[in-house]
């Protein structure tokens, strides 16, 4: 058989909103599925309906000179939105847009963002997703590879895992992630699945029997499930965690947290309530601003440790109290979003 020649548009993402003349950051990724290095064109479009047609607007075009066989390229582009871009759009990533590469599969050269961006003078503050699993769609957790797509080769998380957090992603051809856990008798396995609006289902299985299941989506971004190995002989059992999406949906990033406790304990996977920021919607001309929020209570039994703040899309920084002073002297004119979490 001849070697594969194929390119794959992995993902594209951006903020939720921006004003005309504001600079936004668009992130995207592409993979060369073949063995030979390839050069090709990349385009980023604004689309009203997720399909590339005459109603769409191109906002960036660039060349990728050489992507090695089996290699992945990711990039962050700063793009200035204009008054002509006003509206609510999906982001499209189109690779090999000039059709210079003859591919075995021409149907995987388009990626669509999992959420829309609104360009308007009164657009909401630009919020980007908090979950990072789809920044490297083929690396789930810290395993350096995509989680297994079948039960037989499920990614093993060990025996009675005390605390495991997995940043995962289900997009493009990736529909299912399988994980396996061994649980001793008398132990309880608790999991929490969190997302950002994508419809994703999770099942806890003992053999072929579904012991617990649930789903997250636009109206419910967090679900917790649990199972106890009540074997009196203290025998260990193998359980599977199946995370899946409907192949007809776009999918997206997810956060899977796994905790093992004694069967008589109450696991705590419920996050604290979201802090409510005191809004600052007025234009500010200063070197520093003070950010404040109301104290919140923890919903579980582990207590509240601290708060964290960040500029939208940036790195989280720990804060002990319920206020902080931030330097804004290096920010460009425009709307910026600050986030806080407990």
State pLDDT tens for residues 286-341: 788 888 888 877 766 666 778 888 776 567 788 888 888 878 777 766 667 777 87
Place of tokens 């847009």: 97
Q: Between 272 and 149, name the one with better pLDDT.
A: 149
State pLDDT tens for residues 39-65: 999 999 999 999 899 899 999 999 999
pTM: 0.60
| Full set of structural domains in the chain with CATH | 7-123 (2.60.40.10), 134-262 (2.60.120.380), 288-341 (no CATH)
Which tokens go with 124?
Answer: 């909401």
Lowest mean pLDDT of 69-78, 107-116, 139-148, name the range.
139-148
What is the mean predicted confidence (pLDDT) over 55-76? 91
SS3 annotation, 282-315: CCCCCCEEEEEECCCCCCCCCCCCCEEEEECCCC
pLDDT of residue 310: 76
Q: Judging by beta carbons within 10 Å of its beta carbon (0-12, 13-18, 19+), is residue 27 exposed, middle or buried?
A: buried
pLDDT of residue 277: 75
pLDDT of residue 153 exceeding 60, the answer is: yes
State pLDDT tens for residues 202-250: 999 998 899 999 998 888 888 888 888 887 666 889 999 999 998 777 7
pLDDT of residue 312: 64
pLDDT of residue 132: 72
Nearest to residue 44, comparing CAs of 126, 130, 131, 113? Answer: 113
Angle at CA of residue 172, ends 91 and 96, nearest 5°: 60
Band of the pLDDT at 2, cuts 50, 70, 90?
Answer: very low
């Amino acid at each position: 058989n001849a070697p594969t020649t194929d390119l794959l548009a992995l993902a594209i993402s951006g903020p939720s909103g921006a004003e005309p003349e504001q600079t936004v950051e668009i992130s995207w990724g592409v993979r060369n599925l073949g063995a030979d290095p390839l050069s090709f064109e990349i385009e980023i479009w604004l689309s009203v309906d997720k399909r590339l047609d005459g109603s769409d607007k191109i906002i960036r075009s660039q060349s990728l000179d050489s992507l090695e066989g089996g290699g992945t390229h990711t990039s962050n582009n700063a793009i200035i939105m204009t008054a002509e871009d006003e509206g609510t759009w999906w982001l499209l990533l189109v690779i090999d847009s000039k059709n210079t590469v003859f591919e075995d599969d021409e149907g995987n050269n388009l990626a669509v963002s999992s959420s829309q961006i609104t360009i308007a003078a009164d657009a909401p503050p630009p919020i980007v997703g908090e979950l990072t699993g789809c920044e490297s769609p083929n690396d789930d957790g810290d395993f350096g590879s995509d989680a297994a797509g079948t039960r037989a080769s499920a990614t093993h998380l060990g025996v009675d895992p005390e605390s495991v957090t997995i940043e995962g992603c289900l997009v493009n051809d990736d529909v299912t992630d399988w994980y396996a856990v061994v649980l001793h008798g008398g132990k309880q396995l608790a999991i929490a699945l969190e997302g950002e609006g994508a419809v994703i289902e999770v099942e806890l299985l003992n053999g072929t029997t579904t012991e617990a299941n649930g789903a997250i989506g636009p109206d419910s971004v967090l679900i917790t499930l649990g199972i106890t190995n009540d074997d009196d002989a203290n025998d260990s059992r193998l359980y599977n965690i199946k995370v899946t999406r409907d192949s007809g949906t776009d999918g997206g990033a997810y956060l899977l947290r796994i905790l093992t406790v004694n069967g008589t304990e109450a696991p705590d996977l419920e996050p604290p309530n979201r802090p409510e920021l005191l809004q600052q919607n007025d234009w500010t001309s200063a070197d520093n601003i003070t950010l404040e929020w109301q104290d919140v209570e923890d919903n579980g039994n582990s207590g509240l440790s601290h708060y964290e703040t960040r500029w939208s899309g940036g790195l989280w920084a720990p804060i002990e109290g319920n206020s902080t002073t931030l330097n804004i002297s290096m920010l460009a004119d425009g709307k910026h979003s600050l986030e806080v979490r407990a």
